[in-house]
Amino acid sequence: MDYIKKLSLLLGTETKNIFFRLVFFSIFVSVVEAIGISAIMPFIDIATNFETIQTNQYYQWVFIFFGFDSEVNFVIIFGLVLIGFYVFRGAVNLLHINMVSHFSQNIYTEITEKVFNTYLLMPYQVFTSKNSSRLNKTIIVESSLISSIAHSFLIMVTEVFIVIFLYTLMLIVNWETALIFTLLFLVKLFLLKSTVFLKIKEFGKAREKMQAKIYEILNRAFGDFKQIKLQEVSKLQNTKNDFHATVSEYSETTAKYMFLESLPRVVLETSAFSLIVLFMTVLLYLNESSVMHILPTLSLFVLALYRILPSISRIINGYNTLMYKHESINIISEELRIIQENLGHRAIEFNKKIELKGVSFSYREELILDNINLTIRKGEKIAFVGGSGSGKSTLVNLIIGLLRQNQGEISIDGVVLNESNLQNWRSQIGYIPQQIYLFDGTVAENVCSGRELDENFLIKVLKQANIFDFLQSVQGVDTLVGEGGIQLSGGQKQRIAIARALYGKSNILILDEATGALDAETENEVMDEIYQISENETLVIIAHRLSTIRKCNRVFEIKDNNIYFKEKYSN
């Protein structure tokens, strides 16, 4: 029940209201199912013995009330009504299946959006500590398993009430026989719970770990495919072996789960129908005559069991699904508790300067920057240099608002950056990293990057980035770049990134070692274009090469957790 409570907390109010309405509808479906089974007994009773119509007070009342003139007509009309009821029963069941299916998929949509939105709102510092393959797995796999759990639970509700209603009917008709079946089922269920169900729960935990590992292997392989291709045969074989071992173990675990999932149904059905045959055999032996006098009762038990057994099987399968996939509920619940930023949309103007006063930053109790004081004027070109791990990128991330300082304050034209205006400030940043991310789409899609397409402005920024002429020689703005920009050269990818930054109408351009992967000639071309584009804009550069920062107004070196002004910089 703890898992059900957690699942309830994951759902919105409207979804829970729909869920409870579906529960009541599931109970109604159960009633219809029970009536459908119980109606067989009186029909067989009167169809095999017309005298019962006159001797049974209920049959006789119906016969007289509706004015039947013969027993045959009574039985025929009863049969036609029963057929009509079964058609109605079928329609109700189809409606129920349709509603439950749509509801479970709506849960998938709701949970997936919640997790995705939570990830989007997590602080950048939290994101850097996450494994991207696990984030993807949570959204794609675990969220879908939540919908499967909800679907199984609703089916369980329906089947539980079907079992309750039919079992009650069996008790009313012949309580001794019903109790014998009950004792048998309880013994079987106890044995299954102490063996099969526990094993399925273990397989569920193993399933989550193995799926996570599969995603990690795929991320490593496709995330740096060039390195994979350049590996020695032995190292490449290690990757293949690792993937083979993990997938094989996952497949084996799934196969065992599928077997154990079917085992209870086979065991219970075998036991129940064997007991019916044994029951009839014992009656024949004791009475040494036909069992025609108990045929209606026997028919009811056969039909009831024929319907109850699949219900019990579905209940057990639903329980097994909950046990096998229960880790999804824990994972989603945990992920939705990730710290989220609560940022306002207050506008902030950058017309004069950015000021850092006494800014310090620590990460995991390690001091990265200590008491930084810095002023960046509007339109100024400045550079940060320093050794690897000195804190250059950290300082830039503080300036653009991706990280938050532990001490001190950062202000824009005298207005302190805080939760009320941070989102607006970030939107004014044009960020160009060394590793350019381009998705498998057109140039236009990559430059707009989810923003509304303005074709005239798009062409303008592509011209500013000095790549429009090249695009005209291929498919223009509809040129496909390939995943990761594989169809483009390094310089072309950088120019696409520049165009993307300009398309955001940024007030400040950030180059985070943006040309470090380019050759000297291409770097000079790209940097000349950037200096020209940002002639009247603020430019902040993180770089190692002198050629990159030759036109900067000021150069600062980051070392020993602090910042130092340098008039010149050399490699």
From CA 237, how far away is CA 250, in angstroms rounded? 20
Q: What angle do the packed helices 71-121 and 143-173 form, to 10 degrees?
A: 150
Give the Cβ contact number of residue 336 at 10 Å.
15
What's the confidence (pLDDT) of residue 57?
79
Lowest-pLDDT choice from 6-20, 135-149, 231-245, 529-543: 231-245
Look-up of token digits 């001794």: 176
Q: For the purposes of burial, counting CB atoms within 10 Å of the CB of 218, is it exposed (0-12), middle (13-18) or buried (19 or more)?
A: middle
Please give the DSSP secondary-structure letter assigned to residue 380.
Answer: -
Q: What angle do the packed helices 295-324 and 175-192 form, to 10 degrees?
A: 20
Q: Which of 59, 166, 148, 153 is nearest to 104 (CA)?
A: 148
> Which tens digits make up the pLDDT trace of 495-529?
888 888 888 878 888 888 777 666 777 777 778 77
Residues 286-290 have a mean pLDDT of: 54
> Which tens digits make up the pLDDT trace of 113-145?
888 888 888 888 888 888 777 888 888 878 878
Q: For the purposes of burial, counting CB atoms within 10 Å of the CB of 144, is it exposed (0-12), middle (13-18) or buried (19 or more)?
A: middle
pLDDT at 571 over 50: no
What's the confidence (pLDDT) of residue 490?
79
From CA 501, how far away is CA 448, in angstroms rounded? 9
Q: Are the CB atoms for 544 and 516 separated by under 8 Å?
A: yes
Which amino acid, one-letter code, is at 148? S
What's the confidence (pLDDT) of residue 284?
59
pLDDT at 391 over 80: yes
pLDDT at 295 over 60: no
Look-up of token digits 């009656």: 283
Q: Which two tokens stand for residue 524?
A: 């000079």
What's the confidence (pLDDT) of residue 132?
78
pLDDT band at 569 (very low <50, low <70, confident <90, very high): very low
pLDDT at 355 over 80: yes
From CA 459, how far away is CA 126, in angstroms rounded? 37
From CA 544, how far away is CA 515, in angstroms rounded? 10
From CA 511, how far away is CA 527, in angstroms rounded? 10
Give every CB contact of residue 467 below 8 A, 6+ residues apart in sequence.
492, 495, 496, 499
Between these two residues, 50 and 373, which has the higher pLDDT value?
373
Separation of first and last alpha carbons in the chain: 64
What's the confidence (pLDDT) of residue 141?
79
E-strand spans in 339-433? 353-363, 366-377, 381-385, 407-412, 415-416, 429-433
2-335 and 353-566 agree in CATH topology: no
Q: For the purposes of burial, counting CB atoms within 10 Å of the CB of 51, is it exposed (0-12), middle (13-18) or buried (19 or more)?
A: exposed
pLDDT at 146 over 70: yes
What's the confidence (pLDDT) of residue 269?
61
What residue segments make up the domains of the chain, in order of their start? Answer: 2-335, 353-566
Q: For the purposes of burial, counting CB atoms within 10 Å of the CB of 44, is it exposed (0-12), middle (13-18) or buried (19 or more)?
A: middle
Q: Are the CB atoms for 518 and 490 separated by under 8 Å?
A: yes
pLDDT at 358 over 90: yes
Q: Which of 328, 343, 378, 414 is nearest to 148 (CA)?
A: 328
> Which tens digits make up the pLDDT trace of 258-286?
777 666 666 666 666 666 666 666 655 65
Q: Which of 249, 273, 561 is nearest to 395 (CA)?
A: 561
pLDDT band at 360 (very low <50, low <70, confident <90, very high): very high
Q: Considering just the CA atoms, what is the radius of gyration of the chain in Å?
A: 36
Q: Report the percent of the chain where pLDDT is more than 90.
A: 6
Homologous superfamily of 2-335: ABC transporter type 1, transmembrane domain (1.20.1560.10)
From CA 221, how far away is CA 213, in angstroms rounded? 12
CATH number of 353-566: 3.40.50.300
From CA 467, how far away is CA 484, in angstroms rounded? 18
E-strand spans in 71-153? none
pLDDT band at 370 (very low <50, low <70, confident <90, very high): very high
Highest-confidence range of 218-227, 236-245, 306-315, 482-491, by mean pLDDT? 482-491
pLDDT at 31 over 80: yes
Dihedral Cα 233, 239, 240, 245, nearest 10 deg:
140
